Amino acid sequence: MNTSFGFQMMNDSFNSTDLDTFKVSQHGLKLARVLSTTRFKGIAGDFSLVDGHLQSSTFKIVNVNGDGVRRIAFWTPETGMVDTLNSGNMNSTSMNYNLRPGCEILTNGKKLRIGVPKKAGYTEFVQVTKNSRTDTTEITGFSIDVFKAVLGVLPYDLPYEFIPYENPDGTSAGSYNDLLSQVHLKNFDVVVGDTTIRASRSLYVDFTMPYTESGVVMVVPTRDTTGNTRIPVNVGVVVDLDTPSGKVYLSCIKMALDDFYASHAHYRTRLFLKTRNSKENIVCAAAAALDLIKNVEVQAILGPETSMQASFVVNLANQAHVPILSFSATSLSLTSLQSPYFFRITQSDFHQVKAIRDLVKYYRWRQVVPIYVDNMYGEGIIPSLIDALQEVDAQVPYRTVIPPSATDDQIGNELHKLMTKQTRVFIVHMMPNLSSRLFSKAKEIGMMSEGYVWIITNGVGNCLWSMNPILQNAMQGVLGVETDVPKTVELNKFKMRWRR
């Protein structure tokens, strides 16, 4: 059996610069066939692909109101909209929702008790200094600076006090495990310091997203305890490392890989991640994929993030026979590529248009205006959305397209045009950074008042729960579609280990 994961030279060449030495993966087609039939139960439920695309799942219909975000219905391909996942019909009284703005942050003035480690080494991260002249304690260091910077972007004041974890004589009161246990014992509300995220610690405390990585590494032999030589397999990862989402994706991929080998230590093959930064740019994403395929000879690529980036990378993958597994590119335009090497392991936009269709049908709205971003992500959903709306006799008299780089004035001008029209039901399909400015401007000019209806797709709906309260306040009354992620024991454990 050939265990080599190499590439072979192509007989022909690309009609492009520096691609004449492009190679073809020897195992790409076999790997693609295996991926196409992959079925397993993941931490959030069943995973299965049909024609290279993740099967449709359940959606939640949510509503932004003064209390935050609440679920008002579920939607499944089998049942349509239902009150609960166990019911088969929709209660007509359960879908009333608030169209009036109004939300404020309330605080009780209680200070957060923040524990900090008292130690002798690595004081660059946290240093506890006693000032004998003023009889005060000064807490400084990189970790403290990061914490204060986070507080600085909150839209409200958060009172707190630093409390060194020390004995009366000023010595350390215990180890880092002891310090973290004080949160579980409710002696501290939070711990700030150079603490390492470990599985054992995640059983009783929640960690924030990592803000730095250790430079310490360990080199181990590629031979297991049974004497079988391990086979290294290079896998590329193309994400936007300059964005929070890209860092989240990479962190989750690494955690998943660690979990897999923790429970499958006998596997001879070992995946080695080769990460490249796409820098939120189509050309950079294509260049990153080309480097991974041509120079690193990866057997598969995870990513890239956006549909526009994926459309370019898939063409390279077809030539090199390297499977592309996209976890966030949702545009329906990618479906038309019909590539045997493209696998969409996230929900296609095709599924949510049917949920939106049923929502429009439920309220008997007869005219709807799509407002979408002017790129492949925005345009890809429109044909299917219009077809779905026509199925329930809802017409699309016109549409509004917003450039990705639109200024607030440009957004305002487009909204003012809509105010002169008769239709008051809008479907917004864009990413959170652009939609947040759209809704802020809509509130400013009075389009978030009663009488207007706003529906958001899951590109924004999936982010509502973590959205800035000020932005949520601007979106009062908005209806949305959110992908339903089943709550499982495994998922809860994962969240405990690392929570965004």
pLDDT classification of 483: cutoffs 50, 70, 90: very high
Q: SS3 for 142?
A: helix
Phi and psi torsions of 302, nearest 5°? -95, 125
Q: Is 24 exposed, middle or buried (0-12, 13-18, 19+ CB in 10 A)?
A: middle
Q: How confident is the model at residue 1 (pLDDT cuts 50, 70, 90)?
A: very low
Average pLDDT, the chain: 84
**Cβ(138)–Cβ(129) under 8 Å?**
yes
Q: What does the pLDDT read at residue 17?
A: 40
Q: What is the largest CA-CA distance in the chain?
A: 80
Instruction: Say whether pLDDT at 157 is over 60.
Output: yes
Q: Which of 80, 83, 60, 69 is nearest to 483 (CA)?
A: 60
- Look at residue 48 and tell me whether its pLDDT is greater than 80: yes
Share of the chain above pLDDT 90, in %: 47
Asked if the model's pLDDT at residue 18 lies above 80, the reply is no
pLDDT digit string, tens, across residues 354-410:
999 999 999 999 999 999 999 999 999 999 999 999 999 999 999 999 999 999 999
pLDDT reported for residue 234: 95
When pLDDT is averaged across residues 12-17 and rounded to a whole number, the result is 42
Cα separation, 348 vs 52, in Å, equals 11
Q: Are 330 and 309 in contact (CB under 8 A)?
A: no
The residue with greater pLDDT, 240 or 56, is 240
pLDDT tens string 185-236: 889 999 999 888 887 887 888 888 777 765 555 555 555 555 567 889 999 9
Domains present along the chain, CATH in parentheses: 7-54+235-346 (3.40.50.2300), 59-104+349-483 (3.40.50.2300), 112-203 (3.40.190.10)
List Cβ neighbours of 350 (8 Å cut-off, separation of 6 or more): 332, 335, 384
pLDDT above 70 coverage of the chain, percent = 85
* Structure confidence at residue 227 (pLDDT): 57
Least Cα distance to 490 among 46, 38, 42, 39 occurs for 42
Residues 51-97: tens digit of each pLDDT = 788 877 789 999 998 768 889 999 998 889 998 876 555 554 345 44
Q: Where are the beta strands (DSSP E) in 186-230?
A: 190-191
DSSP string, 444-477: HTTTTSTT-EEEE-HHHHTTGGGS-HHHHHHTTT
pLDDT confidence tier of residue 98, bands split at 50, 70 and 90: very low
On the question of pLDDT at 114 being above 80, the answer is yes
Q: What pLDDT sits at residue 438?
A: 97
3-class DSSP assignment, residue 53 = strand
Q: How does residue 119 score in pLDDT terms, banded at 50, 70 and 90?
A: confident
Residue 89: predicted pLDDT: 58
Contact between 255 and 498 (Cβ < 8 Å) = yes
Classify 489 as helix, strand or coil.
Answer: helix
